[in-house]
Amino acid sequence: MKANAKSGKLTGLSERSSDIVLVVICAVILFLVAYPLYYVLVASVSNPYDVYAGKTFLLPSQFTLDGYKAVFSDPSILTGLLNSFKYTIVGTVFSVVVLYLAAYPLSIKNLPGRKFISIFFIITMYFGGGMVPTYLVVKETGLINNMWALFLPGGVAVGNMIIVRNFFENSIPKAMTEAAEIDGASKWTTFIRIVVPLSRSIMAVMVVFSMVAYWNDWFTSMIYLPSPSKAPLPLVLRNILIKSSASASQASTISGGFAELNKMTEMIKFSSIIIAATPMLIIYPFVQKYFEKGFMAGAVKG
């Protein structure tokens, strides 16, 4: 090692060998992370008997799309899929609007009461009423079996609110907002016409975070939306993936007896995993470059 310091050539060589070691380690890690997903993808288009015989480690065996056909002809899964789309879209619009409504005023340094209101929100990050008192309030406000039970109790996502607030403070030029106000624009007009358009990057991140949260959620729905017709996709999948039971509709539509039903149940497991996971896996790479920036903005003391 000490010899390396004296010879530039040797240093270059050790740099290159540590590069190679790094790439190899990263490749192994990549494989460990990606392979389980790849395996499910391959299994979802293979004959389930071959999957269980270990013939699909690398490539599909007896390629078939029957699993996907079965998923898309199952009424309960289709209802779940539609519900999930609805909850994700409405929830994301609502959450991002509320987030912005809270974040912008709190980014104005000379707003009287700013500090007090900030603390009012931040306290809820660390303390809460817990599962049952929150449930009782949701019940009292008449939201059981109402989709707004998924959005309203979440209120303001305070961690995200701080990230957005700091973005407003650090990345929107004060000169622009102040010039607009001096020219007679109201605070609201300034917000809509200048601040919102200039914050598209952070908004994209918040939209993705929010979509992911609503698309993947099932616990809130399980508690607040007991009616089966309101269940989002992950909750419908619970019967298939966790309880391993075929739904009644599958049992009645599949002819060929128990073995065939069993085979379909196994196929549906793989294909429904792919269907549930794919939309978010497609979306997040588009905003990936903002993740680190967002966290930096959030960590800078405001």
Q: Which of residues 144-203 bind another protein (CB under 8 A)?
A: 152-156, 162, 174-175, 178-179, 182, 186-188, 191
- 295 interacts with another protein by CB under 8 A: yes
Q: Which two tokens stand for residue 39?
A: 């395996």
Cβ atoms within 10 Å, residue 189: 12
CA–CA separation, 272 and 251 (whole Å): 17
CB of 253: closest distance to another protein in angstroms? 22
Residue 287: CB atoms within 10 Å: 18
Q: What is the DSSP letter of 113?
A: T
Tokens encoding 87: 């909850």
d(CA 157, CA 100): 10
CA–CA–CA angle 187, 188, 190 (5° rounding): 65
Q: Which is nearer to another protein, 20 or 251 (CB)?
A: 20
If one asks whether residue 245 binds another protein (CB under 8 A), the answer comes out as no
Chain residues 224-243 in contact with another protein, contact rule CB under 8 A: 234-235, 237-238, 240-242
User: Binding segment for another protein among 12-20, 63-71, 245-253, 256-264 (CB under 8 A)?
Assistant: 12-20
Which of residues 64 and 262 has its CB atom nearest to another protein in the complex? 262
Q: Count helices and strands (H / E) in the chain.
A: 17, 0
d(C-alpha 208, C-alpha 214), whole Å: 10
Q: Interface with another protein by CB under 8 A: which range of 69-77, 199-207, 215-223, 250-258?
A: 215-223
DSSP label at residue 50: H
From the list 216, 247, 253, 262, which residue makes contact with another protein (rule: CB under 8 A)? 216
| Segment near another protein (CB under 8 A); pick from 35-43, 71-79, 246-254, 257-265 | 35-43
Give the one residue of 137, 170, 228, 260 binding another protein; rule: CB under 8 A.
Answer: 137
Amino acid at 101: L
What does R_g of the chain's alpha carbons equal in angstroms?
Answer: 26
Complex with another protein: residue 4 or 253, whichever CB lies closer? 4
Nearer to another protein by C-beta: 5 or 252?
A: 5
Is there binding between residue 22 and another protein (CB under 8 A)?
Answer: yes
Reduce the DSSP state of residue 64 to 3 states and report it.
Answer: coil
Binding mask 53-72 for another protein (x = CB under 8 A): xx--x---------------
Q: Which is nearer to another protein, 130 or 257 (CB)?
A: 130
- Other Cβ atoms less than 10 A from the Cβ of 230: the count is 20
Q: Which is nearer to another protein, 27 or 89 (CB)?
A: 27
Q: In the complex, what is the shortest distance from the CB of residue 73 to another protein, in angstroms, rounded to a whole number?
A: 20
Cα 8 from chain centroid? 48
Mask: binding to another protein, 83-122, rule CB under 8 A, as x and -?
Answer: ---------------x--xx-xxx-xxxxx----x--xxx
Query: Which of 28, 52, 58, 260 forms a contact with another protein (CB under 8 A)?
Result: 52
Single out the residue of 20, 65, 133, 193 in contact with another protein (rule: CB under 8 A): 133
Which of 97-101's residues contact partners 24+ apart within 8 Å by CB, and which partners?
A: 98/155, 98/156, 99/156, 99/157, 99/160, 99/161, 99/164, 99/206, 100/164, 100/196, 100/203
